[in-house]
Chains A and B, each alone.
Chain A
Amino acid sequence: MSQLLSQVFATLSALLLAPLLLGWVDQSRAWLANRSGPGILQPYRTLHKLFNKESVMADTASPLFRFVPYLIFGCMLLASAIIPTLSTDLPLARAADAIALVGLFALARVFLALAAMDIGTAFGTLGARREMLIGFLAEPALLTVLFSSSLIANSTALKTIVNKVSQNEFTIYPSLVFAAMAFVLVFLAENARVPVDNPATHLELTMIHEALILEYSGRHLALLEWAAALKLFAYSTIGIALFLPWGITGGMDPQRVILALVFLILKLALLGVILALVETLSAKLRIFRVPEFLATAFLLGVIGMLTHILLGS
């Protein structure tokens, strides 16, 4: 029973913390740009506003268009729930296989692209093509990162990876250093952050992720925004699980879980500031340089794997 409670608690905390993380990153960007910013709770206000608005749809929309936001939200929620954010022993954690996770993100991406092309506007197709380009290159890079960690833990299950790195004494794994650098690059690309895509842009020709959801409004848009926040949360927790897993508990008793939550919030806060810093210091890349960016990520991932094979760590 306590297992189920802990699992629900972990899922709920993911659901509620994701917009907070998004708000924290935006607020940090504002502070770094010497603006006063909209406040950390702004995403909640946005979601509340959107849920109370009417959802207007084009006449040419098919049932797919209506159904995709729910699918995406479901995927991202599932991803955030199964990643071992607070504990490695939750019932759903057994499903958290690295390759399955990548497959989940790929599923969401495919349907989002389809929905964007569904209406038939030019911007939707533009965004869909760019999104698929990035996904096509980012996915192998992400896989190599996950494989580097898997080679160390001899398993692709995230909980085993977390246990291996956090339970043993502190060791520097050179392959993980490379994998971490590759992961950062993939993180920036997949979550539509500068330098790949500016989330705050209003110029349609420069949009990648925003162009995909341009036609949505009302509750559909709310679900998609929430899903984007959950994706950011999921990626951050994957990064923490792979590279900074200290604090994630092995058991399920409530005190340890709440302590793990505190650690998680601290780590996310730190990561949020670093993300804001990276975004402020970089300039957005031109679209044709993005493949190079991702090729670098892939390369670093491959070097990480090769160094593991050669050096044994």
Chain B
Amino acid sequence: MSNISIQLINLFAAFLLMLAFAMLAQRRVLNLVHIYALQGFTVVAATSVVAYVTHQDHLYFSAVMTLVLKVFFIPWVLHRLIKRLNVRWDVETLINIPSTMLVGIVLVVFAFNLALPVSRLSSSVSPGTLGIALACVLLSFMMMITRSKAIPQVIGFLSMENALVFAATSATYGMPMVVELGIALDVLVGVFILGLFMFQIREQFESLDISHLENLKEG
């Protein structure tokens, strides 16, 4: 197993973490979509390297699927959605961006701590990347919570799924093909449904501010 490929996987993992933070720091929605596409590309690169190192051909197929779906198709759909909904607003946050970043660091430390005993047992090429994938999941989750508009929440959800695919690739050399196809299909359908919803929400509420969607209460 060549040293340089392991370092490349580690580098891509670090890149993914940086992109997750970059998403938290963004103020404009279009930049979020571009970062999401970059994230997808990093996952594709990492999957290809793992495929090359471990000689598992089905990972190449998975990489191609991720490329087509998450680097080209879904960002294109999101782009069109943003244009048709005409929502180029600034991202509105519930807590300001520097505080979000600080909480993000705490989450990263927590995730690394959680993953450390598991990484030591992992027999994969790059055991440390499980902690990074877990940290990216938590960061995307935080992005979903602290954004009050629909599209950043959706992108947070998609990037969480990206981080999970990366976790699967690095920890277990990908899942069986059937499962990966199923996951990809679910994500695709999910994006469509969300897109559909955003139109409906906009129609009903004339705005995509999620705080409008907080009227259902007890009693």
Contacts and interface: CB of A to CB of B under 8 A. Distances in A.
Interface of A: 171-175, 177-178, 181, 291-292, 295-296, 299-300, 302-303, 306-307, 309-313
A174 B10 contact: yes
A310 B132 contact: yes
B17 interface: yes
B185 to A, nearest CB: 33
B8 to A, nearest CB: 7
Contact of A291 (B25, B98, B105, B116): B98
Contacts of A312: 128
Interface of A is mostly: helix
Given A172-B7, A174-B11, A313-B10, A307 B132 contact: yes
Given A295-B101, A296-B25, A311-B126, 7 more contacts: A172-B7, A292-B98, A295-B98, A306-B105, A307-B14, A307-B17, A311-B10
B96 to A, nearest CB: 9
B69 interface: no
A299 B101 contact: yes
Given A174-B14, A303-B17, A303-B21, A313 B109 contact: no
Interface string B6-33: 0110110111011001000100000000
Q: Which of A177, A307, A312, A313 has the most CB of B within 10 A?
A: A307
A178 B112 CA distance: 17
Given A171-B3, A306-B112, A311 B105 contact: no
A291 B97 CA distance: 11
B4 to A, nearest CB: 7
Contacts of B119: 310
A170 B101 CA distance: 32
B105 A310 contact: no
Contacts of A291: 98
A175 B13 CA distance: 11
Q: Which 10 pairs show the lowest CB-CB distances between chains A and B?
A: A174-B14, A311-B128, A172-B7, A310-B128, A311-B10, A174-B11, A295-B98, A310-B131, A307-B14, A310-B112
B129 interface: yes
A171 B5 CA distance: 10
B151 interface: no
B9 to A, nearest CB: 9
B158 interface: no
A178 B132 contact: no
Nearest to B128: A311
Interface residues of B, number: 29
Contacts of B128: 310-312
A307 B13 CA distance: 9
B108 interface: yes
Interface in B62-118: 97-98, 101, 104-105, 108-109, 112, 115-116
A296 B102 CA distance: 10
Nearest to A296: B25
A291 B102 CA distance: 13
27 contacts: A171-B3, A172-B7, A172-B8, A172-B11, A174-B14, A175-B14, A177-B11, A178-B14, A291-B98, A292-B97, A296-B101, A299-B21, A299-B101, A300-B18, A303-B17, A303-B108, A306-B105, A306-B109, A306-B112, A310-B116, A310-B131, A311-B10, A311-B13, A311-B126, A312-B128, A313-B7, A313-B10
A313 B8 CA distance: 11
A174 B13 contact: yes
Contacts of B109: 306
Contacts of B25: 296
Contacts of A311: 10, 13-14, 126, 128-129, 132
A299 B107 CA distance: 13
A307 B18 CA distance: 11
Contacts of A173: 7
Nearest to A181: B18
Contacts of A174: 7, 10-11, 13-15
Nearest to B12: A174
Contact of A178 (B18, B101, B115): B18
Contacts of B132: 307, 310-311
A122 to B, nearest CB: 29
